[in-house]
Amino acid sequence: MAVNVNDPAVIVGNDGANTTAARLGRGVVTVVPVTSRTDQVYPFQVLLPAPETGLHTDSKAQAEQVRSVAVERIGPVVGRLGFELMGQLDDALRLHLDL
């Protein structure tokens, strides 16, 4: 999980393309925005408990807002999603994108 300017986001998509964009310092990466507003978590969103992710507060990944951003906007890593949470995010993306 990295910071997109000031907003955290989960980097998703093709690892090879993401690595190439980062190495070249140009291009785009696909991200799912993260918010700390967790009063409602919809089926196309994933709750990200702080103890499991390293974030400062419980948050949620918003698969309905998936987007591409310039690699230059990606900041330092602020947390990590384990295998189970990434699987839930994969499912949320499939649901939102009807895949």
- pLDDT of 3 over the 60 cut: no
The residues spanned by each domain of the chain are 2-97
pLDDT, tens digit (0-9, with 9 covering 90-100), for 37-74: 999 999 999 999 999 999 999 999 999 999 999 998 88
Q: Give the pLDDT of residue 59.
A: 97
60-95: buried (b, 16+ CB within 10 Å) or exposed (e) per residue? bbbbeebeebebeebeeeebebeeebeebbeebbee
Q: Of the given ranges (52-56, 75-79, 95-99), which has the lowest mean pLDDT?
A: 75-79
Q: Answer yes or no: is pLDDT of 4 > 80.
A: no
Residue 12 three-state SS: strand
Alpha-carbon span 51 to 59, nearest angstrom: 11
Question: What pLDDT does 22 receive?
Answer: 84
d(CA 78, CA 80): 7
Question: What is the value of pTM for the model shown?
Answer: 0.89
Q: Does domain 2-97 have CATH number 1.10.10.10?
A: no
